[in-house]
Amino acid sequence: MSDTVRPGADRSGDPYLPEHGNGGYRTRHYDLDLDYRIATNRLTGHATIIAVATHGLSRLSLDLAGLRVAQVLVDGAPAKFAHVRHKLHVRPARAVPAGAEFRVEVRYSGRPSPVTGRWGDIGWDELTDGVLVASQPVGAPSWFPCDDHPADKASYRIAVTAATPYTVVATGRLSDRKRSASTTTWVYELPEPTPSYLVSVQIGRYDRVNLYSGQPPQRAAVPTRLRQRFAHDFGRQSEMMQALQRFFGPYPFAEYAVVVTDDDLDDPIEAQAMSIFGANHVDGRRTHERLVAHELAHQWFGNSLTVADWRHIWLNEGFATYAEWLWSGVSGGPPVEALARMWYARLKTRPADLRIADPGVDRMFDERLYKRGGLTLHALRREVGDEVFFRLMRGWVAEHRHGSVTTPDFTALAERHAGRPLTDLFGAWLYAAPLPPLPSA
């Protein structure tokens, strides 16, 4: 069915990725019932989305790429729809009044594949024997209809049916598991507000491992052949969790899950209360332990505190990088000061053309943003002292728990904790391209 879509309904207004996300409403909850056939890469889905209209809606849109839509209902009534490229345009039978809660149901199916873009293929991806979902920043529409913008955070229920020999791990806490003759349905509940890019499903022939039974519980899904190496490489994760809680405050979710795929991955992937590593990140020598710390730190910075738009991504990656350095310093590795000096020297040899508070869409994942972000925090720590700095870190996390954040939010809070303006420091480190000198220790 086709219809004319109101201008602006299918754009988020994000300065970097305006075509991802949608206007006119905010989501509250997603209920996803998925049936996946691994041998044929066939996905059948029923998504129920509860949202609130921010103004009167005669039309609305959702992000969905590469799958065929069979039916759309709005508040139980059939709705007209048009599925054009990665946008599902919907015209309800009755307009939704401003401020009203409404329900959209979408039945869809097909062979899911990643969304192709400037960062390669992102989203639902077949492994040699299973599935990997890595959605940052635009891959969520590859497997469910959503408002694909980081500032739109909702709760989730995810039920996935797959062949019984496979383990399904999804974001959230496992609330039910039902086995039939040849399939098992795994149900996960995620009550914390979560953006679409941090929702994930992992399917594989995994052993389920209990890493830590205290608070927060820590679990893992690992191929049998990697269990011994994994036990060593992730053997200090519970200590790492305790250390990061001392630095940043309580862990923000009910539990933490780690998945190690049986395939190699270029980089680990963070999801809400979950991190995903490749087989190549597990070698039995803790070679990649800094990445374990980095992904865990994202649970505070990126997941609980999510950027309001993609300009502010240094608040995710710079903070997770600094967490790597902090863990190194307390676990017997090089101290923070040595790592900061090393990366400062390396950045001095690189082009000075990046403003990390607004890097541009093509440089969102530039390594220099990660390292200069970490150096910015180290410069701030030197400027205000350890007591103020770590009080600021804990205050930042507590004040914005499960919310959306911006760079001005952080700099304003830093100045309140410091008790004085920090305009020169932040201007040089965040908004200017040349690499400034590190403040004296």
Q: Binding site for Zn(2+): what residues are annotated?
A: 294, 298, 317
Cis bond before residue 137 (omega within 30° of 0): yes
Give Cα separations from 47 to 75, 159, 171 (angstroms). 13, 10, 16
* Catalytic site includes residue 367: no
Q: Where are the alpha helices (DSSP H) in 250-299?
A: 289-297
Q: How far apart are CA 319 and CA 193, in angstroms?
A: 21
Judge whether 370 counts as a catalytic residue: yes
**Residues tagged in the binding site annotation:** 294, 298, 317
Looking only at the bridges linking them, the beta strands covering 130-134 and 154-163 are unpaired
Cα–Cα distance between 425 and 308 in angstroms, integer? Answer: 23
Tokens found for residue 226: 């990697």
Cα–Cα dist 241/236, whole Å: 9
Question: Of residues 105, 192, 295, 324, which has the active-site annotation?
Answer: 295
The rounded distance, in Å, linking the Cα atoms of 146 and 198 is 12
Q: Choosing from 30, 322, 370, 383, which is the catalytic residue?
A: 370
Secondary structure of 327-385 in HEC code, one letter for each residue? HHHHCCCCCHHHHHHHHHHHHHCCCCCCCCCCCCHHHCCCHHHHHHHHHHHHHHHHHHC
Active centre residues (catalytic): 295, 370
